[in-house]
Each structure stands twice: as structure tokens, then as C-alpha cells.
Chain A
């Protein structure tokens, strides 16, 4: 098989790295060679962040460039637009219908762009969901990342992997039930 790659994008502190970890654990269990790359440092202070995951029988580069990602998961909708150039023209995007102002927007120096979702949906096959609302209904907004992960597994089409098992092995027991519910709700939302 040709190797595949996913890019997870969002704002520092949204939990993209944990989500990538669950994904990678599942891919490892399924016997794939996996590489994952993230950028630390100044980006943690409320800046834009991205994590890339690359898998296949044998993987060389841990990173991809323009037009090379099969899948994008965007934890924030403007970040989907920012990183859209990484997607293949026939790539799939899972997008959180969620808006976070940047510091420059908050300070009134710039305006949040209109039409982020529409632009993505017009150009790529998209699964759009309000993960924050779903997470809130489950009782904890912090499980928003696993809601998105559930939708992502639908888009991934790696149905041989028992993702619930992977979640059991990855998240702390205290949050297991919440995360399983979040995963199922996210997957259902993408149906």
C-alpha cells in the first residue's frame, strides 16, 4: 500500500497531541510503520499548532509538504483554512464548527474571516460537526478532542482497528467512560 498521512491542526491547548496519540496507538496495533511530528515551543502560547501522522508498510519522512495530506482534522475552523494547502485535492477534512479568536482579533486589530466552513466544503469532502456542543451535552467540554477523533475514524475507513480498545489503553481510567461516549457520539455525528 502507499503510505497515508493525516494532519491535525488547532490552537495550543485544544488536545490535538492527545488525539494524535490515540490515532498512532491504533495504527501501531494494526501493524503499520508510523511516524508522527509536532512542533513545540512558542506555538504553545495560544498560537496555531499542527501535528502530522504518517503511516504505511514502511514510512520515511515524518512530515509532509503542500498537497500531500489524505486527511485533515481541524479543531478550529479558521485553522482548517490556514492548513488547507497541506490537503490533497481529493483529501478529506473533519472540521470542528468552533471559533476561537486569536490575540490580534481579540485586540480588534483584525477580524475573524467569514465563510471558513463554506470554503472548505466547496473544495474538499468534509465532515463538519459542532464537537464543543456534543462534548458539552456529554458533560465535559474537554472531551471535544475525542468527539472529533470519533468522526475522524469514520473518515479514515480503517474499520479493522478496534478504536474503543485503543481508547481504553490510551486514556486514564477515570475519564474512560466519558471518552468512550465522546468517541461514539463523534462517530455517529459523522455517519
Chain B
């Protein structure tokens, strides 16, 4: 059998293909994004798309499952907060063909705003929870997840973590299986969630869950690896791999893949076979709490932290007190934080905003969150996708109510605008907010690695699409004055801000310049160079926070391997010591 090295995300895409999935919808979010980036290779067999947000993606995929084909949606952990509304009711209504929702959690918050444990969503929404522990299981468990979904008439939550999604391990492929065809018929009692129907549906959910729990005791996803009788470990997901590295070879394991509802009879049986029982899980004590509530004694979170990623060495130290031996060096590395790229169109905007002493800037999730870092430090808040406009609204109302004089801006990107920023733009207009909404339009979903969105003109499958114009949306809402500006032109950018502040009609700003990393576009690339005879060493150019601009021997220096010639630094130079040259001269 040929072995392939696949990341968990690539394997989930492969698993969906092999499971006969026909409709897939997602919104990008680290660490889930590559699942959908690997789906277009199967586009002859399935349809895949980027939706404007996770709620829409879940609704599209759920609609397809009602329509009668197996469907998939995927998102990062916080994406499920956005999609929770359809999830909870889809659990009541059930499906016609298999429906799987992938949630990718991010312990240690490598690229996230919190460390929430989405296993609790499965318990709260009363749906099946499947957790793979490597790439092969990502393929195999996907196929089983669709069988569970159809057998028990419910959505299945398929949960990974960063280390499942982004680790590569060896897999073998299987053939694609086509699901039983389904001919759609209206069934309003099942699919119209009117209170009378929901009332009838709740007992069905409880029956299905009870049947699933009974099944979970004999599911192929849950298995005992019996060795010695001294120590037993119940574990799931990536924690299984860590525990296998850490516990002695004669340890028995109960390795769980179907973790909601928990197979309590199987757990009880396993517990009776060992003297000491451990429950090893990353983040919260999700399994341990339920196992203890069932009256089974076990050791877990008393030793293993509920914060941050585990790894074998950390686990060994927490369980057995064995500290890893590490050499201390006399030198310390200084921080290397991520920064806006050289030539990033957001730089001109944030530089301009950094000069406004009484500005309050409610930011949002994207590359532009980096506008909060030094030396730009031009952001007050960032809370969630699409929250920039609405948070700004609340702050401005607070300032009005308490007599504080501030100029409030809500700032978000093009993809975030379509995600959930549009509702905030409606809120500001409807409730007469004194907030200036700003959309930083770089034509792409940048931070997650360049995915298309409703404004970019292309689809996930690589086809041309209608590009929705942000200014048309804002004008249709009633923003009479929509100022569109190139943020790289600092004078124009300053004027846009001044004009917006002076506007007597509802006003919004769109900063428009494509991200330089968009491959299908031709970009105007040059290099900026410093004339050291003119440079007075005032360091004003460092204020733009460009990784290519630095000081060497008291004069400014621009790293030619990094510089792309955007000229933002040249525009702030008070003595005209920086000029642009074409690349290669």
C-alpha cells in the first residue's frame, strides 16, 4: 500500500471525499483553513465553497444534508460560536443524509483569541462528538462520522486541535463510497422548528442520544489496548499520542474516538481491570467530570493543567515530577513578533491614525490587528470577527453618556465586513452613532493565507464570481459620504480622515489597495534607498513600523531584500532622504 504524508487537515478533506460528500462550505480560520484549501482537487466529485461566515457555511451544509446529500462544514473553534445557532436546532431536526461539522480548537492560542474547549458544544447541543488522534484517523473517522450521523439522525461534531490539523503523519487512501441516493420530500414536522414541532422533537433527541450512548460502547472508534493491570489511561485526541510516549509499556489504554456521549459501560469495564485509572486530556476535564459523576475514581486535572498545549515532556513533569534537563544559555533571544509586511497597505492607515491623540479605534480580527503593535499602537480594542463597528458604537455611546470627548473609529477588513461587519454598519446608521466605520479593503482574506471572499471576484473552485462592492453596500444603507482612499498615499489618507471627521452626513471610509501577496495580480514593486548624505538620523521613518526600515551607524537603512518600494517611509522623511528606485537598478 502506498503511504502518503498528510496533515490532519488534508486527511479530513480526503476523508470527506472518500465518504462520498457532495456539498462543502466553510469560512477560513487557523487551524482549520487547509481542509477547504485541499478540497478543490476533488471538485469533479464534490462542490466546495468559501461562505461569508461560519453561520452561513453551517446553514449551507445543513441545507444540503436536508436536501439529501452528505455535507461538510469546517471552522476554527471560535467560528462555532458564530455557527452555534444553526447547530443547536439542527440537532433537534436531524438530517436526511450525513452532516459533519469540523471544529479546530487551538490550545496555546497559536493564532487565536481564546482557548475554548469545543467538546462542551457537543454535550450542550446534544450531538455526537468524534475526535481523531492522527491523520489516518482523520480519514477513517470521517467515514464513520457520516455513518453515525445517518444512523442516529443527528449532526456530528468532528473536533481537531492545532496539533491534529497541522501535524503530518503517514496514511493510506481508500476508495470513494457513494452514499445511498435520497429523493427529497417535504417533511415540515421534522424541519420547520416551530415551537409545536420543537416540542415533539426534543424527546426524539434524547432517544437518539441514549441509543448513541449504547452504541458508543461497541463503536469501532473506541478501543481498549489491554496490557498490565496496574495502570490504566483513558484518553482521546492528541493527548493519546502524548500519553503513549509517557506511560510505561505495560500501561493499558482505553482510547476513545467517539467522546460524546461517553461510552460509560465500556469505561466502567475498563476501570474494573486496572488498579489506578488516569484520564489524560488537553484543556478542560471534559471526560473526567463525567467519569467522576458516574462514580468512577480517576486522576486527571489534579495533576494535568487545563491551560495550554500538552506535550510528552510537559505531561511527564506534571504526572511524575520528572523535570526535563535543559541547558541554560547566558544569552537571551529578544522578541520577534509578527509585523505588518513591508508594503502592507494597512501601514499607511495605521500610521495616520497613530497621530490622532483623541482617537479611539475599535479594531477587529485580521492582519490589521497588528496595527495594535509598536510602534504604530493605533488600536484600542479587538474582540471578535465583525465586532469592530459595533464595539465602537457602544464606546461612543459611553463617551456621550459620560461627557468624554473622543473621536471613535470602527475598523475592519473586507472579508470581515462581509463576515459580520455589515450588521454593525447598519447599527451605526440606524441608531445615529457618532462613529466613523472604516473598511480596510485589501481584496483578500489575508491572515489565514489568502482565501477569496464575496468582494474578491473569485470562488474557492477558482471560478470568476460577482465581486460585491463595499461602497455600494454602504451607500445602499444610507452612508451618503463614502470616502475611498489609497492608504499608501499619506496626504490623501490624512485628508480622508479629516474630511470624515468634518462630514455633516453619515460617512464611511474605505481604504483600498490590494495585498501585495495576492499572486494573480501584478504589483508595482520597487525599492526605497536612503541617501545617507541627506539623512539627519531623526528616526521618523522608524515610526511607520516597517520590518525593512532600520538604523545602521546612526543613519536610516532600508533592507533591499525586504523592501518593496511602497514609499510610506519616504513620505514621512522630513528631509527627503529616501527615494524610490525601480527593482533591479
Contacts and interface: CB of A to CB of B under 8 A. Distances in A.
Most buried by A among B163, B167, B551: B167
Interface stretch (B333-341, B386-394, B419-427): B333-341
Interface stretch (A115-123, A145-153, A159-167, A177-185): A115-123
B331 A119 contact: yes
A174 B325 CA distance: 45
Interface residues of A, number: 61
Say what secondary structure dominates the interface of chain B: loop
Nearest to A109: B374
A82 B333 contact: yes
Contact of B333 (A25, A37, A67, A81): A81
A101 B367 CA distance: 21
A34 B4 CA distance: 11
B450 to A, nearest CB: 11
Contact of A41 (B313, B447, B550): B447
Contact of B5 (A12, A28, A44): A28
Given A39-B110, A45-B341, A28 B170 contact: yes
A64 B313 contact: yes
B542 A107 contact: yes
A46 interface: yes
B462 interface: no
Given A28-B170, A35-B168, A61 B242 contact: yes
Contacts of B33: 40
A89 B550 contact: no
A47 B337 contact: yes
Contact of A102 (B334, B375, B447): B334
Contacts of A103: 336-337, 339, 373, 545, 547
A66 B449 contact: no
A42 B106 CA distance: 13
Interface in B291-335: 309, 311-314, 324-327, 329-335
A68 B324 contact: yes
Interface string B30-46: 11010000000000000
A134 B370 CA distance: 35
B270 to A, nearest CB: 20
A189 B337 CA distance: 32
A81 B169 contact: no
B324 A63 contact: no
B166 interface: yes
B339 A46 contact: yes
Interface string A101-113: 1111111111111
Interface in A50-66: 59-66
Given A40-B31, A61-B311, A84-B329, A108 B335 contact: no
A107 B374 contact: yes
A119 B329 contact: yes
Interface in B254-311: 309, 311
Nearest to B542: A107
Contact of B166 (A33, A39, A84): A39
A61 B312 CA distance: 7
Interface residues of B, number: 61
Contacts of A101: 547, 550
B495 interface: no
Contacts of A111: 334
B330 A108 contact: no
Nearest to A116: B331
B81 interface: no
A102 B309 CA distance: 26
A12 B448 CA distance: 14
Contact of A48 (B134, B244, B336, B547): B336
Most buried by A among B166, B330, B336: B336
B237 interface: no
Nearest to A83: B333
B336 A61 contact: no
Contacts of A84: 327, 329
A82 B334 CA distance: 8
B245 interface: yes
Contact of B539 (A34, A39, A65, A108): A108
Nearest to A113: B331
A138 interface: no
Given A47-B336, A47-B337, A81-B332, A42 B111 contact: yes
Contact of B314 (A33, A65, A105): A65
Interface of B: 3, 5, 30-31, 33, 110-111, 134, 162-163, 166-170, 238, 240-242, 244-245, 309, 311-314, 324-327, 329-341, 367, 370, 373-375, 447-449, 539, 542, 545-551, 561
23 contacts: A34-B5, A35-B169, A36-B169, A40-B33, A40-B166, A42-B111, A46-B341, A62-B134, A62-B167, A62-B238, A63-B312, A65-B314, A66-B313, A67-B326, A68-B324, A78-B333, A89-B326, A103-B336, A103-B373, A104-B337, A106-B546, A110-B335, A116-B331
Given A60-B245, A61-B312, 10 more contacts: A34-B168, A34-B169, A40-B30, A41-B448, A43-B110, A47-B338, A61-B311, A68-B312, A89-B327, A103-B373
Q: Which 3 A-B pairs have the closest CB atoms?
A: A41-B111, A65-B313, A67-B324
